[in-house]
Chains A and B, each alone.
Chain A
Amino acid sequence: MARGASEQRVPAAYLTARRLVGVLLLLGGLLVASLLAATLIGPTPIRLAAALGGDAGETPDHAIVFQARLPRVLLGGVVGASLAAAGAVLQALLGNALADPHLLGVSAGAAVAGVVVLVAGADPVSPLVPGAAFLGALATVAAVFLGARTGGRTSPHAILLVGVVCNALAASAIMLVNAIASYTQAQGVLFWIMGALSTQSYALVGAVAVYATLGLGWLWRHAHALNLLAAGEEGAASLGVDVERTRRAVFFGAALLVGAAVSVSGMIGFVGLIVPHVLRLILGPDLRLLLPASFLGGAIFLVWADTLARTVLGTSELPVGVVTAFLGGPFFVWLLRRSLRVGTEAR
C-alpha cells in the first residue's frame, strides 16, 4: 500500500510532445484565469458591466481595471515568469535544488547595476536600465559560479555562501550609491531593495515581456543539454554536450531574465526557488517541460502573491517581496534540512 502511494508520485516515464503540450496548455489556462481573477480582486469592488460596458472609457470601474490593476497584474506575471524560469535553469546548471536568482546574489548584482545607472542620470524607463541590470546579473552569476568551483565541480553549499557574500556586498553598494544620491533619487533606490510591483505603462510591461520571452526561447534550446548535465560535466560531455558553451548560454539567458525582472520590480526573492521546485516534484526534472512550466507557474504564483500583497492589509499595500519572503524563507529551510538529511543517508 505504501508502495502504491509512492508509485503515484512517479512522473510519467519520459517526455512526449503530447505531454509537453498538454501540461503547458493546462498551465496557460490557469494563468489566464489567474490574470482575470486577480484583476477583479482589490480593495475597491469592481462592477464588471461598468468596467467593460459599451463605449464608456470613462467610468471609474473601467479606469481602475485598465489603468491601475491590469498593467500591474500583467507586470507581476512577467516578473514571476522570468524569475521562476531563471531559477529552474540555474538549479539544473548548478545541480543544486537550492539555487535561486535572489539567494545567489544575481538579483542583487542586477539591482546594483540598475541603481548606478539610475543615479548617474538614466531615464527610469529607458532601455539603459534593463541593459545595465542584465550586465550586472551576468557578472554576478559568473562570479558566483567561478567563486564556488573547485576541480571541475561546484560545491552546493559553497555556492550559497558565495551568494550570501554577493548579497551583502550588493546591499552595501546600494547603500553607498544611496548616500551619494540626491534626496529624490534615494526614494527611487529604496524600491530596488524592497522588491515591489507597481502600476507601469503597458509599453514597459510589453518591453519586459519581450525580454522574458526571448530569454525563455533562448534557454529552451539548451534544455536538453541541461538535462544531460545532471550526469555531471564529464558525463554530459561523453553524451555529446559542449558543456562550456551550454554554461555560457545559460548564464546569458538567466541574466537576461533576471535583469528584465529586477529592472522593473527590484529584488523579489524565492520565486525562483519555490516554483521550479514544486513543479519538479509534480512534473519531474526534465527541463524541456520544467522550464516553460516554471515560466507559466512563476507568473501564476507572483500574480497571486501580489494580489495578497495588495489586499491583506486592507487599504494599504505590502511590497510583494515581503509576501514571497514569508512564504519562501520557511520553504528554503525545509529544503535545506531535506538536502542535509539526504546527504547524511548517502554516507
Chain B
Amino acid sequence: MAVVPVLEAVDLGFAYGRRQVLGDVTAALAPGEVLGVIGPNGSGKSTLVRLLGGLAAPRAGEVRLGGRPLLAWPRRERARWLAVVPQDARLEFAFTVLEVALMGRAPHLSSLGFAGPSDVARVREVLGWFEVDHLVTRRMDDLSGGERQRVFLARAFAQDPRVLLLDEPTAHLDLRHQRLLSELLRTRARVDGLAIVMVLHDLNLVAATCDRVLVLAGGRPAALGPPAVVYRAELLARVFDAPLEVRYDPATGGPLVVPCWAAAATEANLR
C-alpha cells in the first residue's frame, strides 16, 4: 500500500557558517505517523526541527509538505498545515492563557484575528486535553513552567495542523503530564491522522510513543526504524557514549532503556 507522505526530508543538510551541523537526512512521514528524533546534545535535532518547520532554509536538499516544497508555501497556509512547539517557547507581555491559545487560531482567521465562538470553543477543548482549561483567565506570567508549556502545546493543537513538530515538549512536564502527552499524541495520530515529529531525550517515552525513531549522531542519521529494531544496546551506547542496557517491558513487549550508572561510576574509578 503506497501512502502519500505528508512531510518529506530529502538529503537535508545545514551548516552554521562552515560548521556542518546536519547532513544526508532523508525521511518521509505518513499521515498518522509519529516519528521520534533522538541523539546526543549537538547532534542536530533542533536544527532538523527548524528546517522541517520552515524556520530556516536548508543548505542542501529540500523539505516537502504535502508534496510541495516547504519554502514555496504561503506562510498562513503553511501555518494551517504545520505547527511547531519550539524548545523553550517564550512569550513577551502578560497575555492571558485564552489569548495565547487563541493565537493558534490566527492562520484560520482574518489578518486581524478576531476569534468567533467556534474558535473559543475549540481552544477551550484543546486546553482541556492538557488540563489547563481552568486557567483561561490567568496571565501567562502567573503560571508555573509546566503549565506554561502545556498552554504552548495547546496553542499548537489549536492550529488544527496536519503535521506537528515538537522540540523537547516534556522538558517542564511532570510524570503524569508526560504520560498524558504521550497518550494524546497517539490518539490524535490515530483519530485525526496527525503526523508528528518529536525530539526527546527520554528514550523510553520515545519508545512508548513513536512508530519510528530517527537516531542522529554528529548531524547524520545513524539509524531509522521502529523502536524495537533501532533500540539495540550496542548502537545506543555508542551513539550516546554511555553504558546502557536494553530490556523488554513484560507488559507491552516494547524496549526499555536502562542506563548503567553503576557501571559508569566503576569505569570512571578504574581510569
Contacts from A to B (Cβ < 8 Å)? 6-7, 10-17, 92, 95-97, 221, 223-225, 227-228, 230-232, 234-235, 237-242, 280, 284-286, 288
Contact = CB atoms under 8 A, between A and B. Distances in A.
Interface in B52-80: 53-55, 75-80
Given A238-B79, A284-B96, 18 more contacts: A10-B96, A14-B115, A15-B99, A15-B114, A96-B92, A227-B99, A231-B90, A231-B103, A232-B90, A232-B92, A234-B50, A234-B86, A239-B103, A239-B106, A239-B159, A241-B75, A284-B99, A288-B114
B107 interface: yes
Contacts of A96: 92
A95 B92 contact: yes
B112 A239 contact: no
Interface string B119-142: 010000000000000001111001
B98 A221 contact: no
Contacts of A221: 111-112
B92 A242 contact: no
12 contacts: A10-B138, A11-B96, A13-B98, A15-B99, A16-B114, A224-B106, A224-B111, A232-B92, A239-B79, A241-B75, A284-B99, A286-B95
A228 B55 CA distance: 15
Contact of B76 (A240, A285, A288): A240
Interface centre among A6, A221, A230, A237 (most CB of B within 10 A): A230
A288 B95 CA distance: 13
Nearest to A11: B96
Nearest to B75: A240
A228 B103 contact: yes
A284 B138 CA distance: 12
Contacts of B93: 92, 95, 97, 230, 280, 285
B39 to A, nearest CB: 21
Contacts of B215: none
Contacts of B103: 227-228, 231, 239
Nearest to B99: A14
A285 B92 CA distance: 9
Contacts of A238: 53-55, 79, 82-84, 86
A14 B94 contact: no
Contacts of A14: 96, 98-99, 102, 115, 120
A139 to B, nearest CB: 26
Nearest to A245: B75
A13 B107 contact: no
B219 to A, nearest CB: 20
A36 B257 CA distance: 76
A250 to B, nearest CB: 14
Contacts of A97: 93
B233 to A, nearest CB: 37
B163 to A, nearest CB: 11
Nearest to B161: A238
